Chains A and B, each alone.
Chain A
Amino acid sequence: MTAKLLEHKCCDKCRHEWSKPCPELVECIVSGPNCHESQPCTTSRTSQISILKREVVTKPVFFVGMGTCGLGAGAAKTLEALKRCLTDRGTDVDIVEVGCVGLCSAEPIMDIQLPGKNRLSFQSVTEEQVPMLLDRVLGGTVPAELLLGQYRSKSASAWPDVAYIDEHPFFAPQTRWVLANCGIIDPNSIEEYIAGGGYNALSKTIRTKTPAQVCDEVELSGLRGRGGGGFVTGTKWKFALKTAAEQKYLICNADEGDPGAFMDRAVIEGDPHRLLEGMGIAAYGIGATKAYVYIRAEYPLAIRRLKEAISQAKAYGLLGHNILDSGFNLDIIIKQGAGAFVCGEETALIASIEGRRGMPRPRPPFPAISGLFGKPTVINNVETLANLPILIGNGAKWFSAVGTASSKGTKVFALSGKVTRTGLVEVAMGTRMRQIIFDIGGGVPNSKEFKAVQIGGPSGGCIPTPHLDIEIDYESLKNVGAMMGSGGLVVMDEGTCMVDLAKFFMDFIQRESCGKCIPCREGTRRLLEILKRITSGRKTETGVDALERFKGVMYLTRLAEVIRDTSLCGLGQTAPNPVLSTLRWFRDEYEAHVYERQCPAGVCTELLHYHIDAEKCKGCTLCSKKCPVSAIMGKPKSPHYIIPDKCVSCGACFDVCPFKAVERD
Chain B
Amino acid sequence: MNLNIEVNGKTIQAKSGETVLTALRRAAIQVPTLCYMEDLLPTGACRMCVVEVEGQRNLIPSCAYPVADGMKIKTHSPRVIRARKTVVELLLANHPDDCLYCVRNRNCELQKLAESLGVRERRYTGEKSEHKIDSSSPSIVRDPAKCILCGRCVRVCEEVQGVSAIDFTKRGSKTVVGPAFNEGLNVSSCINCGQCVMVCPTGALREQSYLKEVINALKDPNKYVVVQHAPAVSVTLAEEFGLKPGTDVCGTMTAALRSLGFKRVFDTSFTADLTIMEEASELVHRIKNGGKLPMFTSCSPGWVKFVEEFYPDMLEHVSSCKSPQQMMGAIIKSYFAQKEGIEPGKIFSVSIMPCTAKKFECQRPEMLDNGIPDVDAVLTTRELARILRMRGIELGALAPEGADTPFGERSTAGKLFGATGGVMEAALRTAHFMITGQEMDSMKIQALRGLGGTKISHVKVGPLELGVAVVSGLLNARKLLDDIRAGRKDIHFIEVMTCPGGCIAGGGQPLGTNLDAVRSRMQALYKIDREEPVRTSHTNKWIERLYKEFLGEPLGHKSHELLHTHYAKREAVI
| A residues apposed to B, CB below 8 Å | 340, 342, 357, 359, 361-362, 364, 510-519, 521-526, 529, 548, 551, 555, 558-559, 562, 564-568, 573
Cβ-defined partner of A565 (8 Å) among B42, B83, B167: B83
Residue of A357, A362, A512, A524 with most partner-chain B CB within 10 A: A362
B501 within 8 A of A: no
B126 within 8 A of A: yes
User: Do residues A518 and B171 form an inter-chain contact, with CB atoms below 8 A?
Assistant: no
User: Do residues B87 and A511 form an inter-chain contact, with CB atoms below 8 A?
Assistant: no
Residues from chain A with Cβ under 8 Å of B65 in the complex? 362, 364
User: Do residues A513 and B87 form an inter-chain contact, with CB atoms below 8 A?
Assistant: no
Listed stretches B88-96, B300-308, B335-343, B558-566; interface member = B88-96
Task: Provide a sorted-by-A list of 12 A–B residue pairs whose CB atoms are within 8 angstroms.
Answer: A357-B167, A361-B43, A361-B44, A362-B64, A364-B65, A515-B170, A515-B172, A515-B174, A517-B45, A525-B172, A562-B83, A566-B58
Specify the chain A residue showing the minimal Cβ separation from B123.
Answer: A555
Specify the chain B residue showing the minimal Cβ separation from A508.
Answer: B172
Q: How many residues on chain B are close to A (CB under 8 Å)?
A: 38
User: Do residues A357 and B168 form an inter-chain contact, with CB atoms below 8 A?
Assistant: yes
Specify the chain A residue showing the minimal Cβ separation from B173.
Answer: A525
Q: How far is the CA of A524 from the CA of B93 in the complex (A)?
A: 13
User: Do residues B124 and A517 form an inter-chain contact, with CB atoms below 8 A?
Assistant: no
Q: How far is the CA of A562 from the CA of B87 in the complex (A)?
A: 9
Q: How far is the CA of A513 from the CA of B170 in the complex (A)?
A: 10
User: Do residues A364 and B83 form an inter-chain contact, with CB atoms below 8 A?
Assistant: no
Beyond A519-B87, A548-B125, A562-B86, 12 extra complex contacts between A and B, CB < 8 Å: A340-B171, A364-B65, A512-B171, A513-B173, A515-B171, A516-B175, A525-B172, A525-B173, A562-B82, A562-B87, A565-B83, A568-B45
Residues from chain B with Cβ under 8 Å of A359 in the complex? 168
Residues from chain B with Cβ under 8 Å of A559 in the complex? 86, 124
Known contacts A526-B124, A566-B83; A513 and B47 CB within 8 A of each other: no
The A-contacting residues of B in range 56-76, CB under 8 angstroms, are: 58-59, 61, 64-66
The A-contacting residues of B in range 119-163, CB under 8 angstroms, are: 123-127, 148-149, 151
Q: How far is the CA of A514 from the CA of B127 in the complex (A)?
A: 19
User: Do residues A515 and B175 form an inter-chain contact, with CB atoms below 8 A?
Assistant: yes
Residues from chain A with Cβ under 8 Å of B59 in the complex? 565-566
Known contacts A357-B167, A510-B173, A512-B171; A362 and B79 CB within 8 A of each other: no
B50 within 8 A of A: yes
CB distance from B514 to the nearest CB of A (A): 24
User: Do residues B173 and A566 form an inter-chain contact, with CB atoms below 8 A?
Assistant: no
Residues from chain B with Cβ under 8 Å of A518 in the complex? 45-47, 87, 90-91, 148-149
CB distance from B74 to the nearest CB of A (A): 13
User: Do residues A514 and B64 form an inter-chain contact, with CB atoms below 8 A?
Assistant: no
User: Do residues B86 and A512 form an inter-chain contact, with CB atoms below 8 A?
Assistant: no
User: Do residues A568 and B47 form an inter-chain contact, with CB atoms below 8 A?
Assistant: yes
Q: How far is the CA of A522 from the CA of B149 in the complex (A)?
A: 11
Cβ-defined partner of B172 (8 Å) among A512, A519, A551, A562: A512
Known contacts A362-B65, A519-B87; A551 and B47 CB within 8 A of each other: no
User: Do residues B173 and A517 form an inter-chain contact, with CB atoms below 8 A?
Assistant: no
CB distance from A509 to the nearest CB of B (A): 8
CB distance from A229 to the nearest CB of B (A): 13
User: Do residues B44 and A568 form an inter-chain contact, with CB atoms below 8 A?
Assistant: yes
Cβ-defined partner of A511 (8 Å) among B79, B125, B172: B172
Residues from chain B with Cβ under 8 Å of A555 in the complex? 123-124
Q: How far is the CA of A559 from the CA of B123 in the complex (A)?
A: 10
Q: How far is the CA of A558 from the CA of B82 in the complex (A)?
A: 9
Residues from chain B with Cβ under 8 Å of A340 in the complex? 171
Cβ-defined partner of A517 (8 Å) among B46, B82, B168: B46
Specify the chain A residue showing the minimal Cβ separation from B92.
Answer: A522
Specify the chain A residue showing the minimal Cβ separation from B46.
Answer: A518
Specify the chain A residue showing the minimal Cβ separation from B176.
Answer: A515
Residues from chain A with Cβ under 8 Å of B127 in the complex? 525, 529
Residues from chain B with Cβ under 8 Å of A522 in the complex? 90-91, 93-94, 173
Known contacts A522-B94, A523-B90, A566-B59; A515 and B173 CB within 8 A of each other: yes
User: Do residues B172 and A510 form an inter-chain contact, with CB atoms below 8 A?
Assistant: yes
